[in-house]
Amino acid sequence: MTVGVALNAIDADNQVDATVRLAEEAAAAGLRSAWFGQTFGADSPQLAAIVGREVPALQVGTSAIPIFGRHPLVVSSQAQTAQAATHGRYHLGLALGTKLLTETGFGIPHERPIARLREFLVALRQLTETGTADFHGELLTATTPIPARVPGAGSRVPLLVAAMAPQALRASGELADGILPYLAGPRALAEHIVPAVTAAAETAGRPAPRIVAFVPAVVTDDVASVREKAAEQLAFYEQIPSYARVIELSGGKRAVDVAAIGDEETVAAEVRRYRDAGATEVVFTSTEIAGDADRLRTWALLGELAG
C-alpha cells in the first residue's frame, strides 16, 4: 500500500517555500506521495508541479479541485503542465464542491452536481489523453479549435474524484480512475464506498478503482490535547451533509471520531484497518495541528509502513 501525506503550510511566511521544505522532510522519512488541497488560496496544481519538480522522490496530487467555477479546458492545461513538470508523477483530484463555498464564493448556483461531474470527466478525459475535445453536453461545452496538448505530459493524467455518496461513486467508477474519500472510516469504506465504486467500475468494464483514503492522523503521547485541536479543525466538515453522512456511516458522531490519534501501535493498527477495508492508498492529514516533534514522529511511522 502506498502511504502519503497532505501538506498544508498556509501559515508560513512563504507557502511555496515552506511546502517544498515539508515535502523534502516527508521524502526523507520514506513517504511516497504528497497531496495539496484547493480552496481560494494557492493553486494546487502549480504547487504540486513545483514540489514534484523539487522533490523527485514523491508522487504528487491535488485533492481536490471543485468542478464548479472551473472549466475542463483550464483544468486540463493545469494538469498537463503539472504532469510534464513532474515527468508523470502528478495525480488530479476533482471534487463536487459545496453549496456554501460555490454560491458564496463564485456567486453561481450549486445545481446538478452529478450531471456536471459526469460531463466534466468525459471532456477532461478527452483533453488529457488526446489534447483535443469535441464535447457538447447539456451543462458544458469543450472544443479545441487549436490544440490543447502540453508536450511532455504523456498519454494520461490519473483522474480521481472526492466521491463518497452513491451517485458520485457510480459516476466515478464509470468515468474516473479512483476516489479520494475523506473522513470515511473503515466501516464506511468496507460496507458502502468500496463496494459501490468497484461495482460501477466493473459494470463499465474499467479496471478496479484506486481508493485513496484521506485520514486525519497524528502519532503523539498528548492524545487529549491533539484530539481537542483536531476536533476544532475538523468541525467545519460536520455542517456539510456529505461529510456528516459518511461520519455517521463510519460509526462516529463528530468528525474527530474518525481521526487516528495515539502512539505508533494505535495509528498503525488504524492504517491496517483501512487497508483491510479496501483502501489502496492511505494519506495522512492534520499533522500540522501537532508540533514538529509529533509531525516527524508521524511521518517516521508512515515511512516504516511504506517500507
**Does residue 56 fall inside a structural domain?**
yes
Q: Are strands 141-143 and 134-136 parallel, antiparallel or unpaired?
A: antiparallel
Can you give the pLDDT at residue 1? 56
Task: Single out the residue of 182, 205, 194 nearest to residue 258, CA to CA.
Answer: 182
**Does residue 199 fall inside a structural domain?**
no
**Does residue 35 fall inside a structural domain?**
yes
Can you give the pLDDT at residue 243? 94
**Does residue 268 fall inside a structural domain?**
no
**Does residue 217 fall inside a structural domain?**
no
**Does residue 231 fall inside a structural domain?**
no
Q: Residue 104 is part of a domain; what is its CATH number? A: 3.20.20.30
The residue range of the domain holding 47 is: 1-161
**Does residue 194 fall inside a structural domain?**
no
**Does residue 274 fall inside a structural domain?**
no
pLDDT (tens digit per residue) in 77-99: 999 999 999 999 999 999 999 88
10-residue averages of pLDDT along the chain (307 residues): 88 94 96 95 96 98 96 98 97 94 92 98 97 97 96 92 97 98 98 98 98 97 96 93 96 97 97 97 88 94 91
- Structural domain count, the chain: 1
Can you give the pLDDT at residue 100? 85
